[in-house]
Structure 1
């Protein structure tokens, strides 16, 4: 509510003033500005990372507001919910997961932002994929000690008990008879830390395996942007080798010679100097009859243009989402948005359904006082 948001800002301001007086924070222009918790969205990439950052930054203020709700909350349900949430946040398990997910989402944030840009640079995006995998692997191999030190320091700062890692792990709310006997170290290091990192690495390796990465990097060499600055003859020949049904051994040999003439023509011709993507390049080649001059290169471009067809439905969904979930409707839930997207994306199908049929269906669902 607005009242709780105001209280949260006031508490955070008090914490900032206190930290400035103690010398824990430095003052200066643009520093320590007023802020609040950021809401995470189901369909907004990067919002969860920003939410975790704001929780860590305003942790003391959040705890103070929860204590206020417990003391003077207007409803018993709110007081009970605040009490449970306070108990959860003041636990080592919560702090550990908070910092773990902050580090993982922080490692993937640049890649996430790059994949959302309209002017996607495939080469840089694939480089970010490689760096992201490397960073996560480095975290898995040598990041445990730094994480546990950071979590321990945070717990000490906020008076949160830190369990002895050699003691047996106790899972609250579950019967100890059926619980597996493991140490706290095994629980947090193996079952949480390693498991989450392995899941993230497995997902990245599945979506960006070596074959897909090589294919995308080869495709990027066809881009006419900046006077064909991404052109690479060897990668384009490798791209042709990935299509053995279209390019024979003789065709690939001829393609190598044809590419030399092609790139010289493209870079010296003013008709191709301002092109931005492969689609524009294909159109201009047809307009200037270059597709007859360089048939093998044009075949390669045509094959490259057929690849996005597999993701056309995904692109349509994201485009529709930008229309449906605008600034005035940014709090739309996931299920409600999915229902709206289905109707919007398949509007050609739904336009063929008579409104009277829909009204009769709702009329027959239950007894109503009036006629729809």
Structure 2
């Protein structure tokens, strides 16, 4: 029993219980106050855990997607990235196979034999309507990785750069090696020439002046190597500019010829085809012709176009996709370009036919027929 100031007696067990209750309440009030001071609300720990789990799942999915595009980028350039096998998304077989599937729309779709040989396994797969619609859902950086595959070789920084002790020992080791080399050379000279010092003195001055003539012929070829690129660079543009338009006059937009349309094929769109070289394009905005723009192509290229008449009365083939959207080609001022009408059959296979040069400065009156 413990005496209280008012003269009453309270059991010690009751006093201890009241003290523990007070300490517990005080600790809770202190924790709540500290949480409120730092902006911590009820359920914060559980919400953070859910966000961390969601972030980990998203990172895992992104890693799988990047790994998939990395494997696709290792395939040959002429193989369409959407071509795969029914049981293997990144696999393919050279030639025609019943196991080939098109993954342009996500789910695997069967492909005809003609589509496999003429489009899916040729460099012209970039003109395929399925490919053009499929690339719309691919992120830009992954699409660039597919178009220009590169071997990502990461060379880690050498640890020796970080270690200051090795950096200080490097010059010392090199100096010791140089001293050993000089000492070894002196010992060898003594063993070979030490018995006849008169002979040893004679070749010593001959070795010293022999060094300048050694450096002299080294400078002479380096001076002659400087004009070497000049005559080499002069003939290089001549064969590049002259033969390029000549062999590609029939199909400048694609190295692989496409089948011609037949009865029953449906007209899809017009397409401009250019070969390597320079071209002059015109800004075109709702019939208003703007400033000229000079562009240069280093490879065969093509883009979807639509014919339109400008405010100057001339016919322009206005680009609809790519980096030159809104610029038009005008015959014959823009350069050696060609226009072809693209058709699709019932299976979605592409066929095309080039327009005559006499039709390039005229607005088509009706939808072309095969």
TM class by smaller structure = under 0.3
Higher helix residue share: 1
Higher alpha-carbon Rg: 2
Higher strand residue share: 2
Alignment TM-score, normalising by the size of structure 2? 0.17
Alignment TM-score, normalising by the size of structure 1? 0.17
